[in-house]
Amino acid sequence: MAILQKGDKKLLHAWAFYDWANSVYPLVISSAVFPIFYGALTIIKDTEGNKIDDTVNFLGIAFNNDSLISYVTALSFLVVSFISPILSGISDYVGNKENFMKFFCYMGSLACIGLYWFNLEHLWFGLLCYMLALIGFWGSLVFYNSYLPDIAFPEQQDKISAKGFSLGYTGSVLLLVVNLVMILKYEWFGFEDAGAPTRIAFILVGIWWMGFAQYTFKHLPTGTNEGHAVTRKVLMHGYNELKKIWHALKDNKVLRRYLTAFFVYSMAVQTIMIAATYFAVEELDWGKQDSTTGLIISILLIQLIAVVGAHLTARLSKLIGNIKSLIIIIFIWIAICAYAFFVYTPMQFYITAACVGMVMGGIQSLSRSTYSKLVPEQSEDTASYFSFYDVSEKIGIVIGMFLYGWIAGLTGSMRYSILFLITFFIIGLILLYRVPKTKLLV
């Protein structure tokens, strides 16, 4: 098979198609089906649907259920933060980014399938699968994102990044709709209740992710340094590369200030994306309305609107530049958080979800492409640059999820955690204003 050249439309589409493959994980596992499943498993309610107890015993310790999943999530991202530099450094040296991307893809896919056996009796196994799925997803993204400057020219990167997110939202919505029909109309498929199709949804995520990723793997460029031995020195290569990039940032004011701003506002964005459904399960008064249907519909609403939001943001960035576009989007995020603090009814949550969808895809795709533009063109170690980007994001999530879980455990409510998210957005906004103007971002 002929090697596709940088900028080739087929290569760009193959790269973006990995979003179609892996985005079922953040939608079904992180956002939709698993949080609802976890809530149903860990919250004891009376006959009228009122919460009686949400305590979970794990390793002999009683946890608030939201605190437990927040801490496990934070720990998982901490693991990703530690291993990403090592793996990206090895991939730069050995030249096999694709192999590492495959490893994490397959590990994450199989872990999703393992969630089929999640139960309170063997909680450790379920949480382990949850961790490995998360590590697999985010670990593969380190190498996936690092391919962007390798396969696309700067003028192509905003558009292809937005295309990736759009494909991801579209594909994941299709699978979520299938799962929703199976769960709500379980009798059509011969099930006695919604329990089995909910668990089968986890298997479908693993198969979808692993299966569709094959198209991307078929066309991505392979390494040029195959056969290089991995020594102890090479194992530390990634951290040494991060040190080099850290020092290089001292001479690159634009990239340094942008990355600092990204670290702060992304902390809030990612925490919201991970914790939103848990918030809705715990804090909303659903009354007689089916909360499962309502939550999945709201998540579908977010995903569909996010497709439009990603493309509108790409167009906006062409008109006024990347940084100004990000500033506008963060102002909207602050308003959304302020409104969300007073959300108690499903209808209010639907309104919030629609607004989140409009800015969620935009801030993700534009943040990635903005960073890609700022990576020095002469750099050969793009994986290390994107490892630095991803490590910054992951450490931010660790802090965000830990604080979110700690505040939920301290106050007994996730609602007060919203206040610190607003704080992070405001600080990120101020830091974005300090990013110097450059032609790359106009």
Instruction: Write the DSSP symbol of residue 380.
Output: S
In terms of Cβ atoms closer than 10 Å to its own Cβ (0-12, 13-18, 19+), residue 434 is: exposed
Report, at the CATH architecture level, how domain 20-441 is classified.
Up-down Bundle (1.20)
pLDDT for position 210: 94
Bridge partners of 44?
53
**Angle between the N-to-C axes of helices 253-283 and 382-411, in degrees from 0 to 180, rounded to the nearest 10:** 40
Q: Rounded to whole angstroms, how far apart are CA atoms 353 and 191? A: 31
Q: Are the C-beta atoms of 374 and 255 separated by less than 8 Å? A: yes
Q: Are strands 55-58 and 61-64 parallel, antiparallel or unpaired?
A: antiparallel
User: What angle (nearest 5°) sits at the alpha carbon of residue 328, between those of residues 324 and 334?
Assistant: 140
Instruction: Tell me the two tokens of residue 194.
Output: 């919604």
> Alpha-carbon torsion 358, 361, 362, 367, what sign?
positive
Q: Rounded to whole angstroms, how far apart are CA atoms 120 and 63? A: 13
Angstrom CA distances, 98 to 37, 46, 87, 141, 352, stand at: 34, 51, 12, 11, 38
In 59-202, the DSSP E strands lie at 61-64
Domains in the chain: boundaries: 20-441
Max distance between CA atoms of the chain, in angstroms, equals: 65
pLDDT for position 166: 77
Angstrom CA distances, 145 to 42, 165, 289, 387, 429, stand at: 36, 12, 41, 9, 24
Question: Running along the chain, 442 residues long, what does each successive block of 10 average in pLDDT?
Answer: 69 86 87 82 63 72 78 88 74 71 93 91 89 91 78 74 78 86 84 84 94 88 58 67 77 84 88 79 69 75 77 82 88 91 84 84 81 74 72 84 79 77 90 77 54
Please, which residues have CB within 8 angstroms of residue 290's CB and are 6 or more apart in sequence? none
Q: Are the C-beta atoms of 307 and 170 separated by less than 8 Å? A: yes
What 3-state DSSP class applies to 386?
A: helix
Rounded to 5 degrees, φ, ψ at 147 are -75, -20
Please, which residues have CB within 8 angstroms of residue 208's CB and are 6 or more apart in sequence? 21, 24, 171, 175
This prediction's pTM: 0.76
Q: Rounded to whole angstroms, how far apart are CA atoms 212 and 42? A: 33
Amino acid at 329: I
pLDDT for position 231: 60
Q: Rounded to whole angstroms, how far apart are CA atoms 145 and 101? A: 10
Predicted confidence (pLDDT) per residue in 220-238, tens digit: 877 555 555 556 666 666 6
Q: Are the C-beta atoms of 256 and 432 separated by less than 8 Å? A: no
Q: Rounded to whole angstroms, how far apart are CA atoms 169 and 83? A: 28
Instruction: Write the DSSP symbol of residue 414.
Output: S
Q: Rounded to whole angstroms, how far apart are CA atoms 174 and 201? A: 12
Please, which residues have CB within 8 angstroms of residue 102's CB and are 6 or more apart in sequence? 213, 217
Instruction: Tell me the two tokens of residue 199.
Output: 């668990």
What 3-state DSSP class applies to 412?
A: coil
Instruction: Write the DSSP symbol of residue 116.
Output: G
Q: Rounded to whole angstroms, how far apart are CA atoms 70 and 152? A: 36
Q: What is the mean pLDDT of the chain?
A: 80
**Angle between the N-to-C axes of helices 417-433 and 322-340, in degrees from 0 to 180, rounded to the nearest 10:** 160
